[in-house]
Amino acid sequence: MAKDFSTRAENYSKWYNDIVQRAELAENSAVRGCMVIKPYGYAIWENMQAALDKMFKDTGHSNAYFPLFIPKSFFSKEADHVEGFAKECAIVTHYRLKNDPEGKGVVVDEDAKLEEELIIRPTSETIIWDTYRNWIQSYRDLPILVNQWANVVRWEMRTRMFLRTAEFLWQEGHTAHATKQEALEETHQMLDVYADFAENHMAIPVLKGIKSENERFAGAVETFCIEALMQDGKALQAGTSHFLGQNFAKAFDVKFASKEGKLEYVWASSWGVSTRLVGALIMAHSDDNGLVLPPKLAPVQTVIVPIYKTEEQRRIVSEKAVEIKNRLEKLGVRVKFDDRDTHKPGWKFNEYEFKGVPVRIAIGPRDVENGTVEVARRDILKKEIIANDQLDQTVLSLLDDIQHTLFRRALAFREENTRTADSWEEFKQILDEKGGFILAHWDGTAETEQKIKDETKATIRCIPLDDDKESGKCVFTGKPSEKRVVFARAY
């Protein structure tokens, strides 16, 4: 592989950007902080969407669509929410342009000023709960289990493709329930769906836990999350599921008549994952030869590259290649036969290796004669000659094996990079020399977490959901603690 791009060791951040660019996943646009998601990157997102959407529907949810715009006043209705979301946002103030009287293109028509400014949704709790008020009268109208696939905008000052952009794509589930118990169960269920998706589709092991107060969603009673570890030892929050209590029901006056005929406020959850998962996918598996994709999410699972010199060879090889393509597609494999004559086989090998295609099949005239093909796997960069009549089974088991190998590799990496720290010195040393997850005791106060963050840039990624209680002393203040929490520097 040509070495005109960065390795992880040389410059992790540049390595990431090089992959995004050279694998044609995305690029910066003319609009500050907004990216263009290119076809190959978008195809990964489409595969994520398809898998998640099925999981949402299998758990009883339906999709709907709510307005892009939110009246400014809606944000002020929930006190915490306004602090968290109504600050760095895109604000629509006018609804008409007119020809510039001086002849220079178009200018804003000051006569077309909105009475109340509209905010481009940074998240939709407010507009959705304003809508739910009309949907809910009685317990018979509950639960409401709705999801939305949409674009949202948060005016981030420092952006990075997929990981943090001003506009991004996501899904946001918004559910309404008659009881606290049911809303909590929903919150947990969707956290499990996210963990299942991360581990079994993205091949990324995740920790499930609760966010500390500092990292909680603005407006939530409790935020649950899944946290993944990237190859540079930084954590990445891969999904959140919020128990909103009755906060939004109270802010938007959403009550229901219970079976007993009493008027009560509705209980809520919301949950979301976004295109930042594409960034996590890139960073979790890729290597110094480019992108590595788990087969379940790869836009192309198997590429066929023909090798020939003469036109006659081309004809024979292509015929075989098409036959193989059809066979594999019948088995449900996403196959591409790259028969372009504008590029040489070697160039194509590099191209698909860099783009992370899990399995590559090369076939030349000798192979056709011998009834063989060359099969290469991207994860461990090995290849072998396979008899044509064993190819179907080989490809299927390779795809399965690559999916599991990537997960095991990521899991081993996380285990190697999860350490306990029992003193402040040890904590700082691990963070600076090794990174990764640090299990440490914490006194439970927002103040201490803030001080640790100020000094080290590490935050509490989550308070693990498991029941491993252990008495100890806060790594920073020495005050008593009942349980270790997970610290890390994070994306």
* Residue 73 makes contact with a copy of itself by CB under 8 A: yes
Q: Is residue 223 helix, strand or coil? A: strand
What are the backbone dihedrals phi and psi of residue 240, each rounded to the nearest 5 degrees, phi first?
Answer: -135, 150
* Residue 87 makes contact with a copy of itself by CB under 8 A: yes
DSSP strand pairing (437-441 vs 418-420): parallel
Please state, in angstroms and rounded to a whole number, the distance separating the CA atoms of residues 429 and 111. 61
| Closest CB to a copy of itself among residues 86, 178 | 86
- Minimum distance of a copy of itself from residue 182's CB (angstroms): 17
- Minimum distance of a copy of itself from residue 45's CB (angstroms): 8
User: Are 422 and 471 in contact, with CB atoms under 8 Å apart?
Assistant: no
Which residue in 108, 380, 387, 412 binds a copy of itself (CB under 8 A)?
108
Residues 314-353 close enough to bind a copy of itself by CB under 8 A:
342
User: Are 103 and 56 in contact, with CB atoms under 8 Å apart?
Assistant: no
* Residue 62 makes contact with a copy of itself by CB under 8 A: yes
User: Are 290 and 355 in contact, with CB atoms under 8 Å apart?
Assistant: yes
| Nearby residues of 421 by Cβ (< 8 Å), 6 or more positions away | 427, 430, 438, 439, 440, 475, 487
Residues 1-60 close enough to bind a copy of itself by CB under 8 A:
27, 29-31, 34-39, 42-43, 45-46
Residues 443-482 close enough to bind a copy of itself by CB under 8 A:
none
Which residue in 68, 257, 322, 490 binds a copy of itself (CB under 8 A)?
68
Site string for a copy of itself, 158-197 (x = CB under 8 A): ---------x-x----------------------------
Site string for a copy of itself, 119-138 (x = CB under 8 A): xx------x--xx--x----
* Residue 280 makes contact with a copy of itself by CB under 8 A: no
Please state, in angstroms and rounded to a whole number, the distance separating the CA atoms of residues 361 and 320. 12
- Minimum distance of a copy of itself from residue 279's CB (angstroms): 15
List the one residue out of 284, 280, 318, 298 whose CA is nearest residue 378: 298
Give kind and range of the element (H or E) at residue 274. strand 267-274
Strand partners, 167: 153
Please state, in angstroms and rounded to a whole number, the distance separating the CA atoms of residues 372 and 439. 52
Q: Which residues bind a copy of itself (CB under 8 A)?
A: 27, 29-31, 34-39, 42-43, 45-46, 62-76, 82, 86-98, 105-106, 108, 117-120, 127, 130-131, 134, 140, 146, 150-151, 153, 155, 167, 169, 342
